[in-house]
A and B are shown apart, each in its own frame.
Chain A
């Protein structure tokens, strides 16, 4: 997990990032004038010595935040990055905190130098010494045109440059002997409550909130936690129980307090009034006594009850009604709580695994309102009885024996098991099998036998299951066939043969996935074609056989998509580039996609599929006594054309410095292969037939390379500059203990090891789009000085741009996506002056917004004509609001022009612009959240960070990018097919612009989205084409 902003210097300090959504006004300018607001009579301001810009640099806060975000983010950074933690307690201050404190001292010295006029003034070079002493510099030469500054005191000098003091300007002035004038004011920023409120420790003699936060991590954590709660609730808590009493629960409040909402003297409960008895019982207090209720909620069971409350608050009201039925509420909580409260869910510095949140969010319900049970309950009893290292699982296996026929039993067990953090748990099996069934009609669902099989094989093949979730028409036989074939491949004794077979098998399946996703393989043929693609791998015993099997399998892939058996490389690339297009613009786009694939294959220096095919066929003919060996010799020479990069290291050095990372047997085998020897030497037919086995490693790389090339992230460098990248993909499983990596999501090896030959992947091709984006993300260049690429979030964003193809999107769809967003905005704007509408709008949005944002929106409604409120909405919120409002109030007349146009469009093209279709076409993949690469709009609240997931779930709950890019394209007159070019480039540009402070800083994502849109609208993104006339492709 990596931060998204460089927090000054951290030497040998691990950076942790936690925490939540920042305050409102994310859309305000970075250089908001309020940063230099004059002190007013209001006491809710805090003083910061020196310019805000410098302070933000030193405090590791984005320069683009609004003033009211500054102190909460300072508090957050003090807690998360200011201390090394040991046994839940902040112990040793980090270098970050030391530098921040030192900077504040330096700023105060400079402030004293600046005097009452708050301006540092040096009239001439000879008067510079007092300033230079504070800055830690001295003159290198005596005053004059050649003078320059050099470091005198490295500690002070570091603070000077790290805080962005204009040293270069000072040097210029000194050289020219002109006055140097630099405003150095006290800056005032909004504070929660008053600084006096925070003088709890009584150590300070006068209120200085910045110092208080910097010096007291417990108070800082409470400050950060309270800043994420809506204002009314915050005020109520300040009054009672008061800040001091909340300090012990600051960690719980921070992680699980953002849904606490006190309104009219009552706590608003998840599940509403019906749930009240249940919550009263669990908490031991009444929501009518908010202070008591909140304290008991936070303190009970070391935070587990608060975590439960938060998870259930996070889901939609419809789902809440199930979970919060009083008996269930109690029962599920008791299961979650169990006998052992340790570890607490609020231990620093990440929330534990997201199992409970995923369970609550993704539980699938039948039409009768009951939870869906994949297979049947008996199967789940078996699943629980499986051998497990977890005592908890064994305990629930015993309980399962007494289950009645209610699905609640299973859900109860899943709540209990959500605390198990290992990778192979019944909850994970439940979640994936539920997702597989979610998109299936009753007759397509997994049979109990298939569920049992998937459960039994989960630990080995579980990462492959999202294929079955995405391709819902793959029937039980197809799924079973996959498992049996994969097991057969596992049984191959020869390691190299097995690795090649597994690689080719997955590569061909990967190609099948692409063509099925692009609708070139008709849904009705999925199961049949899938089995045909898989079948040749069922019994691999030798290299030549594997070669022929892989070719046969590839033929089936091609034929399934309407192509030729034994396709040429160009034919295969043409298929991958998308369906044949008739419009010139669409043809051009398809050509560009094909060229990008070719470009990667060339950069990876992979042997052409055609060469391998001809060699294979030629060897067969020779073995049969036909053909001329001479004609094959030149072709065979192409296998020898690949050259390893000129080595920088000796073999011994590699062995010493790369810890075996460079030892790639696969590449070594290729380098040793010399087919010409066989062809030049008279050989018997058997030898010639066997020689086809030598083609296998090359064929594997070409097939795998096609997969890599198709998912090329925008701005990719590894794919174009490291010719070993594809070849080094390790399918052997030997990189990890036990070899389990073979079928799992690939892991990256070799990063940061100079002698390793570059990073490479080891594992399967599952989740390849995300992993490739992970590899390539650090080649994206952040636009802002201090910002870093936001790992874990960025690959998700990139994947959302690389997976979609836009061939079937029509102009009407593009228009509809725009109109839904505009209608959402019209509703919000109109709600400012219409109380009933406001209530309806808020009821809908509360399913997508945390209480704090909802309250802020209500405040924004008070401004006329509601533009503040509109600017605070994300594109997916606008879309969701419009769609949901139209669904709930179908008879209501449209409010604005967009609504009227949408009415007309829906009337004429109901199917073409149905919400289901828009969701499929403009949604994004959710491989972690919904375990599928199928595109969908999920309409969920932004996810917080969790251990093991960091910001990945946040990225997948974002959903806004493609909706927004589509709207821009529509408004600027681009044809739908141009989204192939626009979406990756705009996403790439947006990532460059993200300037976030922490790992849940989605307002920074929205800000980058809007900035990118503005650049695009004003023609400042040079690489993007101007819109063409309306001759676009698509349908």
Chain B
């Protein structure tokens, strides 16, 4: 068996940074910093069942139409491996795994889909992920507050295998109730210590959560529990989504059907989560959120992690990412992943000498 290299700590530190230097006409030199791009790719059939057993050669990636070469690949809980570690011509044997998850995020009934035992087995598949939980403690959550707490506590308890969990909450302001830790007790105490009340600034809080998550290596997801409305954010959801896309962090949003009464939130939840590679769930009530958690765990357990170093690309703006499956037999499957990102541009002078002294006046 090929030797595995643990790459994750290096990937997100940008050690293998694929920096591009672009000289603009005005002599201002920009550096486009593009580290390895990581994607979580879910492959499903028409019914939303996961397709597993695919290999790197089954995927084709393009960025702005430029074909990309995969650098690493992993399925589910595997540690990402260099492509060289895969045996050539070893084609995968695609297998469809029945899923409890519904891509649309709409749970069809109120029955428990997973038993607790099943939840455990699913949870065991998502080793290595850091889960950032963001909990709405605004006035909008008042009625469901205790039920949502129960649901989150249960979710945290069943997350036995991910490396670390962080628990944050928000109303008008943001609170880091438990920073990223493997100590579940600390997280549970954080959950139970939250206080309800005040306005809701979801997108402000989501921005800060993503910024925190971006500082850590490895696979990360953000799971948001919110009743929907935002009446205090400064930042726009579009900006938050772009950050999530640039950092490669999928956002899962869990809400109640009450949120559906507010079409703005529904639209944002569904679109933001989908375009970052996550999902949105709207359950009947907070008591029913257990099923949504099971779905998230299921989703995380079946996605493929692929990465690549972008080929030379002069585009300093938004870059479209497209992922396709190669081969007639795979064309029937659907792909869900983030649809692009915006590279960070930093002016070269930022790292140069002190500001120039003024030349003599004309």
Asked if A157 is at the interface of the complex by the 8 Å CB criterion, the answer is yes
Asked if residues B195 and A57 are in contact (CB atoms below 8 Å), the reply is yes
Asked if A172 is at the interface of the complex by the 8 Å CB criterion, the answer is yes
With contact pairs A10-B139, A717-B208 given, residues A574 and B357 touching in the complex (Cβ less than 8 Å): yes
Mask for B227-250, Cβ within 8 A of A = 1, else 0? Answer: 000111111111111110000000
Asked if residues B193 and A752 are in contact (CB atoms below 8 Å), the reply is no
Asked if residues A647 and B238 are in contact (CB atoms below 8 Å), the reply is yes
Asked if residues B172 and A778 are in contact (CB atoms below 8 Å), the reply is yes
- Segment 249-298 of B: residues with Cβ below 8 Å from A: 263-265, 267-268, 271-272, 275
- Of the candidates B147, B201, B265, B275, which one forms a contact with A154 in the assembled complex, judged by CB atoms under 8 Å apart? B147
Selecting from B149-157, B213-221, B300-308, B325-333, the interface stretch reads B149-157
Asked if residues A574 and B192 are in contact (CB atoms below 8 Å), the reply is no
Asked if B35 is at the interface of the complex by the 8 Å CB criterion, the answer is no
Closest residue of chain B to A575 (Cβ to Cβ) is B358
Q: Which of A10, A148, A758 has the most CB of B within 10 A?
A: A758
In whole angstroms, what is the CA distance A146 to B160 when docked?
13
Asked if B88 is at the interface of the complex by the 8 Å CB criterion, the answer is no
Q: Which residues of chain A are within 8 angstroms of B362 by Cβ–Cβ distance? A: 559, 564-565
- Of the candidates A150, A565, A569, A653, which one forms a contact with B150 in the assembled complex, judged by CB atoms under 8 Å apart? A150
Asked if residues B142 and A11 are in contact (CB atoms below 8 Å), the reply is yes
Q: Which residues of chain A are within 8 angstroms of B95 by Cβ–Cβ distance? A: none
- Of the candidates A723, A758, A788, which one forms a contact with B198 in the assembled complex, judged by CB atoms under 8 Å apart? A788
Asked if residues B358 and A563 are in contact (CB atoms below 8 Å), the reply is yes
Asked if residues B235 and A721 are in contact (CB atoms below 8 Å), the reply is yes
Q: Which residues of B line the A interface, CB within 8 A?
A: 24-28, 116, 139, 142-143, 145-147, 149-150, 153-154, 157, 171-177, 185, 188-189, 191-199, 201, 203-204, 207-208, 230-243, 263-265, 267-268, 271-272, 275, 316-318, 340, 345-347, 349-350, 353-362
Q: Which residues of chain A are within 8 angstroms of B231 by Cβ–Cβ distance? A: 752
Q: Which residues of chain B are within 8 angstroms of A591 by Cβ–Cβ distance? A: 353-355
Number of A-B contacts (CB under 8 A): 240
B188 to chain A, nearest CB (A): 4
- Of the candidates A574, A653, A717, A780, which one forms a contact with B235 in the assembled complex, judged by CB atoms under 8 Å apart? A717
Selecting from A268-276, A532-540, A592-600, A621-629, the interface stretch reads A592-600
7 A-B pairs within 8 Å (CB atoms) are namely A9-B197, A149-B150, A161-B149, A166-B189, A608-B28, A722-B239, A779-B207
Asked if residues B207 and A9 are in contact (CB atoms below 8 Å), the reply is no
Closest residue of chain B to A150 (Cβ to Cβ) is B150
Asked if residues B234 and A10 are in contact (CB atoms below 8 Å), the reply is no
- Segment 776-807 of A: residues with Cβ below 8 Å from B: 776, 778-782, 785-786, 788-789
Asked if A12 is at the interface of the complex by the 8 Å CB criterion, the answer is yes
Q: Which residues of chain B are within 8 angstroms of A182 by Cβ–Cβ distance? A: none
A638 to chain B, nearest CB (A): 7
Asked if residues A754 and B203 are in contact (CB atoms below 8 Å), the reply is yes
A96 to chain B, nearest CB (A): 9
In whole angstroms, what is the CA distance A148 to B150 when docked?
9
In whole angstroms, what is the CA distance A649 to B204 when docked?
18
Asked if residues A717 and B26 are in contact (CB atoms below 8 Å), the reply is no
With contact pairs A151-B150, A565-B361, A574-B358 given, residues A786 and B195 touching in the complex (Cβ less than 8 Å): yes
Q: Which residues of chain A are within 8 angstroms of B153 by Cβ–Cβ distance? A: 148, 168, 171
Q: Which residues of chain A are within 8 angstroms of B355 by Cβ–Cβ distance? A: 570, 573-574, 577, 590-591, 594
With contact pairs A148-B154, A751-B232, A752-B231 given, residues A168 and B175 touching in the complex (Cβ less than 8 Å): no
Q: Which of A7, A591, A614 has the most CB of B within 10 A?
A: A591
Closest residue of chain B to A715 (Cβ to Cβ) is B208
Asked if residues A2 and B243 are in contact (CB atoms below 8 Å), the reply is no
Q: Which residues of A line the B interface, CB within 8 A?
A: 2, 6-12, 57, 136, 140, 146, 148-151, 154, 157-158, 161-162, 164, 166-169, 171-172, 559, 562-565, 569-571, 573-575, 577, 580-581, 587-588, 590-591, 594-595, 598-599, 601-602, 608, 610-611, 614, 631, 634-635, 638, 641-643, 645-649, 653, 657, 717-718, 721-724, 751-752, 754-759, 775-776, 778-782, 785-786, 788-789
Asked if residues A595 and B350 are in contact (CB atoms below 8 Å), the reply is yes
What 8 additional pairs, Cβ within 8 angstroms, besides A161-B146, A717-B204?
A: A167-B192, A172-B185, A601-B347, A648-B272, A717-B234, A752-B231, A758-B236, A776-B234
Asked if residues B239 and A758 are in contact (CB atoms below 8 Å), the reply is yes
With contact pairs A595-B350, A602-B347 given, residues A781 and B174 touching in the complex (Cβ less than 8 Å): yes
In whole angstroms, what is the CA distance A563 to B361 when docked?
6
Asked if residues A580 and B267 are in contact (CB atoms below 8 Å), the reply is no
Asked if residues B268 and A171 are in contact (CB atoms below 8 Å), the reply is no
B239 to chain A, nearest CB (A): 5
Q: Which residues of chain A are within 8 angstroms of B27 by Cβ–Cβ distance? A: 610
In whole angstroms, what is the CA distance A590 to B355 when docked?
8
Q: Which residues of chain A are within 8 angstroms of B239 by Cβ–Cβ distance? A: 645, 721-723, 758
Asked if residues A754 and B139 are in contact (CB atoms below 8 Å), the reply is no
In whole angstroms, what is the CA distance A563 to B356 when docked?
11
Q: Which residues of chain B are within 8 angstroms of A717 by Cβ–Cβ distance? A: 204, 207-208, 234-235
B166 to chain A, nearest CB (A): 13
Q: Which residues of chain A are within 8 angstroms of B198 by Cβ–Cβ distance? A: 6, 10, 788
Q: Which residues of chain B are within 8 angstroms of A598 by Cβ–Cβ distance? A: 347, 349-350
Asked if residues A754 and B268 are in contact (CB atoms below 8 Å), the reply is yes
Q: Which residues of chain A are within 8 angstroms of B173 by Cβ–Cβ distance? A: 778, 780-782, 788-789
- Of the candidates B116, B154, B192, B356, which one forms a contact with A168 in the assembled complex, judged by CB atoms under 8 Å apart? B192
Q: Which residues of chain B are within 8 angstroms of A154 by Cβ–Cβ distance? A: 143, 146-147
Asked if residues A752 and B237 are in contact (CB atoms below 8 Å), the reply is no
Asked if residues A590 and B354 are in contact (CB atoms below 8 Å), the reply is yes
Q: Which of B27, B193, B243 has the most CB of A within 10 A?
A: B193
Closest residue of chain A to B352 (Cβ to Cβ) is A591
Q: Which residues of chain B are within 8 angstroms of A756 by Cβ–Cβ distance? A: 236
Q: Which residues of chain B are within 8 angstroms of A150 by Cβ–Cβ distance? A: 150
Q: Which residues of chain A are within 8 angstroms of B264 by Cβ–Cβ distance? A: 653, 657, 754-755
Q: Which residues of chain A are within 8 angstroms of B347 by Cβ–Cβ distance? A: 598, 601-602
Asked if residues B241 and A646 are in contact (CB atoms below 8 Å), the reply is yes
Asked if residues A2 and B172 are in contact (CB atoms below 8 Å), the reply is yes
With contact pairs A598-B350, A785-B193 given, residues A754 and B154 touching in the complex (Cβ less than 8 Å): no
- Of the candidates B150, B349, B361, which one forms a contact with A570 in the assembled complex, judged by CB atoms under 8 Å apart? B349
Asked if residues B358 and A758 are in contact (CB atoms below 8 Å), the reply is no
Closest residue of chain A to B137 (Cβ to Cβ) is A6
In whole angstroms, what is the CA distance A10 to B357 when docked?
56
A84 to chain B, nearest CB (A): 15
Closest residue of chain B to A776 (Cβ to Cβ) is B234
Asked if residues B350 and A599 are in contact (CB atoms below 8 Å), the reply is yes
Asked if residues A645 and B192 are in contact (CB atoms below 8 Å), the reply is no
- Of the candidates A580, A634, A785, which one forms a contact with B195 in the assembled complex, judged by CB atoms under 8 Å apart? A785
Asked if residues B172 and A788 are in contact (CB atoms below 8 Å), the reply is yes
A729 to chain B, nearest CB (A): 14
In whole angstroms, what is the CA distance A169 to B157 when docked?
14
Asked if residues A754 and B237 are in contact (CB atoms below 8 Å), the reply is yes
With contact pairs A570-B349, A590-B354, A785-B195 given, residues A9 and B142 touching in the complex (Cβ less than 8 Å): yes
With contact pairs A641-B317, A778-B204 given, residues A757 and B236 touching in the complex (Cβ less than 8 Å): yes
Asked if residues A648 and B150 are in contact (CB atoms below 8 Å), the reply is no
Q: Which residues of chain B are within 8 angstroms of A657 by Cβ–Cβ distance? A: 263-264
In whole angstroms, what is the CA distance A117 to B179 when docked?
37
In whole angstroms, what is the CA distance A455 to B69 when docked?
70
B93 to chain A, nearest CB (A): 36
Asked if residues A722 and B236 are in contact (CB atoms below 8 Å), the reply is yes
Asked if residues B147 and A151 are in contact (CB atoms below 8 Å), the reply is yes
Q: Which of B172, B265, B359 has the most CB of A within 10 A?
A: B172
A150 to chain B, nearest CB (A): 5
Nearest 9 A-B pairs (CB), nearest first? A574-B355, A758-B236, A752-B231, A645-B238, A157-B146, A759-B234, A168-B188, A6-B197, A168-B189
